[in-house]
């Protein structure tokens, strides 16, 4: 009889239990929720893993299908992840686009210096052409600025 009363009291206490308790210094009991990863965090982590893998040399279809099998998700979810990764790629390109010209110019100048030091004059000439095109010196501009020579042959007049 006493055992059933203790068991009933214990079960009633479990029904009233809301979560784990943390004891404060003033002996108040506060309830807290268990901390875990949210659904959105799991999805974002999965998409970030796909983002990291995109430079492995696989085609998009191979990458997405491999992502689906490794992550244990369906193909539709994998393609949704790819759409998010593709949007991130566009965002990255827009951010990098602003300073891309200066970075390319810097690389060209370094390449030109190395080519001249190694005696690769044809490569150096091609790099100079490339640098010239960037600043507006194209073949068409050179032809426009060059003098034009026109020769006409007139027929003889017979009197």
DSSP state for residue 94 in the 8-state scheme: H
**Tens digits of residue pLDDT in 70-125:** 999 999 999 999 999 999 999 888 888 777 878 888 888 899 999 999 999 999 88
Cβ neighbour number for residue 124 with a 10 Å cutoff: 18
pTM assigned to the model: 0.47
Summarised one tens digit per residue, pLDDT across range 144-156 is 666 777 888 888 8
Full DSSP string of 39-53: HHHHHHHHHHHHHHH
Cβ(44)–Cβ(80) below 8 Å: no
* 116 or 131, greater pLDDT: 116
Domain edges within the chain: 2-31, 39-145
What are the tens digits of pLDDT across the range 4-38? 665 666 556 555 545 444 444 444 444 555 566 68
Q: In a 3-state reduction of DSSP, which class is residue 55?
A: coil
Q: Which of 121, 51, 119, 125 has the alpha carbon at shortest distance from 84?
A: 51
Q: How many CA atoms lie within 13 A of 62 on its CB side?
A: 7
Neighbours of 125 (CB within 10 A): 12
Contact indicator for 18, 31 with CB cutoff of 8 Å = yes
């Amino acid at each position: 009889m006493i055992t059933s009363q203790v068991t009933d009291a214990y079960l009633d206490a479990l029904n009233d239990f809301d979560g784990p308790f943390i004891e404060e210094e003033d002996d108040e009991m506060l309830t807290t929720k268990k901390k875990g990863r949210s659904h959105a965090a799991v999805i974002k982590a999965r998409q970030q893993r796909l983002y990291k893998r995109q430079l492995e040399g696989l085609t998009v279809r191979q990458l997405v299908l491999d992502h689906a099998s490794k992550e244990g998700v369906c193909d539709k979810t994998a393609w949704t992840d790819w759409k998010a990764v593709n949007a991130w790629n566009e965002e990255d390109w827009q951010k990098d686009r602003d300073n891309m010209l200066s970075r390319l110019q810097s690389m060209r100048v370094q390449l030109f210096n190395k080519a001249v030091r190694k005696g690769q004059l044809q490569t150096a000439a091609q790099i100079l052409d490339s640098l010239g095109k960037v600043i507006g010196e194209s073949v068409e501009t050179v032809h426009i600025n060059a003098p034009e020579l026109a020769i006409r042959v007139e027929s003889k007049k017979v009197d």
